[in-house]
Copies of this chain bind each other. A is one copy, B any other.
């Protein structure tokens, strides 16, 4: 039994009658409210089974219903920001029957996906894109002379992103309708980041329920209607809704028409307001208050816990998270705490991902050494650079995919200055359920190009601690990447992680008299070991090296080629730009510069097992994605088995080619 507000199961379902959004227009306000309850029920059930974003989706149900009531998003365009709050939208646009396959292979993505429905415009997952892409679409409509309405839906956490601001600053390019819905679900002062969030909080705290009702009434009374002069209506409206504390001063300084705040759970009023605003002939922003987690008591009380959650048990009012093992995030969290206890110069910085990156304990223990800058990855890196210039030891904790937003800052403010900033890159590699918008498959590629930067991938928990210890001792930038996964439990006899990290030094973890050597990056070392053991039982001997460093490349790895070894490189990363390519190129370079023909003969035999080239990996369990990439122990064993069996015939071929050529 769940704790969802709304109708009991006995009541006739309205949701069942909704085949398309247009069906909403046949319902009364009371029925729409009942529908909201049913949608909440479905969302909670889906997330309890599959994990996902609960609180934010529960908060926007009425807003989503009202938007679909007024607009036709098969013709009009709805641009979600981040997109994690699109579940009600999916339910209303023909996907309700598949919601229980949320975030599942061949199921529904947890984010908007044009492949699923023409009502989804962009596949998104990163913050701050909706206003900029909406401007592009509105300009496109201007050029095409078409009349579709454009709506950007952005949360108070995303609008502080630099990209959002760049877009707001360019909103004046648009000379037609473009509505920005600012979904303001800020929870309380203590969790907001930055001045804009603080302004929104002050607005929220200063507005009583009665104020909001009045504002809504004023907007409805004054909204320009067709036939009535638009300028006059807008002027009258501005005169009436000015309050002491209002974002209108901010937005109107930027020449953006501001309306609000209004109640995001009042479907009837929202429909009226959207009807009015859809007729505006210029861009406008509607500020809407919503309550994150509304309707599901545990989520309402603890929206942070239910922002993004794994599956959980719906058990009356209480919620038990599904059991999980120890993750790389946990390992990092404890390793950092330990390092920070002995080193008062360590400062942690994150971009709105305190829990996700494992900084909660650090935040509690060292609040004065912790900074959360909100969804502002670029600024996070530059603030770290400033701290490093002052002799402190900043550690920047950002997911691999979001760190892409900081590429230019890592280049100029960190690598070019050669500052000892430590980057702890969680969610590096395939990420599982979140899918293509969130994979961390490019960080080695964009980081290893940058001079001065060292790039490590630890193999297990012990190595996480070792890598972090090493990183804080360097006088140059160091990045440590690790996946959204459990730390491998290495065999008791394993020595992995015992040896201290030394720059660019790999570690042999299994030595065999064999042509086959696996050079594994990070946790793939455990997979390689398992494959090697399996193969040993079949009489195929394989050596395994824990590469540790994606940059610099260990010269000992290059020497493998001189020994005529067939090197099998494993990395949870795009092959393009990855560690394997770096190793090949480094070997070719040494063969050339050091005039070592002994090196070059075996380079081409290398086998690069990595992410696919030129395609995106769809939503699935991470383990499945690893299989697709050929990176599980089983895959690796199979690849080497084939290589070994082909080896004799290949050798014969080689000889015949060689003799023909000579």
Contacts and interface: CB of A to CB of B under 8 A. Distances in A.
Contact of A436 (B137, B389, B416): B416
Contact of A129 (B256, B382, B597): B382
Contacts of A412: 123-126, 129, 437
B378 A132 contact: yes
Contact of A143 (B134, B374, B392, B452): B392
B253 A249 contact: yes
A409 B605 contact: no
Given A391-B140, A448-B576, A657-B598, A199 B134 contact: no
Interface in A199-223: 199
Interface stretch (A46-54, A156-164, A289-297, A520-528): A156-164
Interface stretch (A35-43, A68-76, A582-590): A582-590
A166 to B, nearest CB: 4
Given A379-B166, A437-B412, A442-B411, A449 B589 contact: no
Contacts of A161: 162, 166
Interface in A629-656: 646, 650, 653-654
A581 interface: yes
A451 interface: yes
B653 A597 contact: yes
A378 B129 CA distance: 9
A172 B201 CA distance: 15
Contacts of A661: 564
B167 A595 contact: no
Contact of A162 (B166, B369, B585, B591): B166
B608 A604 contact: no
A401 to B, nearest CB: 8
A144 to B, nearest CB: 6
A169 interface: yes
Contact of A195 (B114, B255, B390): B255
A85 interface: no
Contact of A140 (B168, B170, B386): B386
Contact of A374 (B170, B405, B437, B589): B170
A378 B163 contact: yes
A129 to B, nearest CB: 6
A141 B390 CA distance: 7
Copy number of this protein in the oligomer?
2
Given A166-B376, A597-B654, A604 B577 contact: no
Interface in A127-155: 128-129, 132-141, 143-144
A312 to B, nearest CB: 29
A195 B171 contact: yes
Contacts of A256: 195
Contact of A194 (B137, B169, B452, B653): B169
A601 B604 contact: yes
Given A162-B165, A449-B574, A584-B588, A255 B386 contact: no
23 contacts: A126-B412, A132-B378, A133-B382, A135-B382, A137-B386, A143-B345, A163-B382, A165-B165, A166-B379, A171-B195, A250-B253, A404-B411, A405-B407, A448-B577, A575-B585, A576-B582, A581-B584, A584-B585, A588-B607, A597-B653, A600-B604, A601-B601, A603-B603
Q: Return the 4 tightest CB-CB contacts between A and B, nearest first.
A: A136-B386, A162-B162, A140-B390, A600-B604
Given A132-B382, A170-B383, A595-B646, 12 more contacts: A133-B385, A135-B386, A136-B382, A136-B386, A137-B390, A139-B371, A162-B163, A404-B411, A446-B577, A448-B576, A585-B608, A588-B604
Interface of A: 114, 121-126, 128-129, 132-141, 143-144, 160-173, 193-199, 247, 249-250, 253-256, 345, 347, 369, 371, 373-374, 376, 378-379, 382-392, 394, 402, 404-405, 407-409, 411-413, 416-417, 436-437, 441-442, 445-446, 448-452, 552, 561, 564, 574-577, 580-582, 584-585, 587-589, 591-592, 595, 597-608, 613-616, 646, 650, 653-654, 657-658, 661
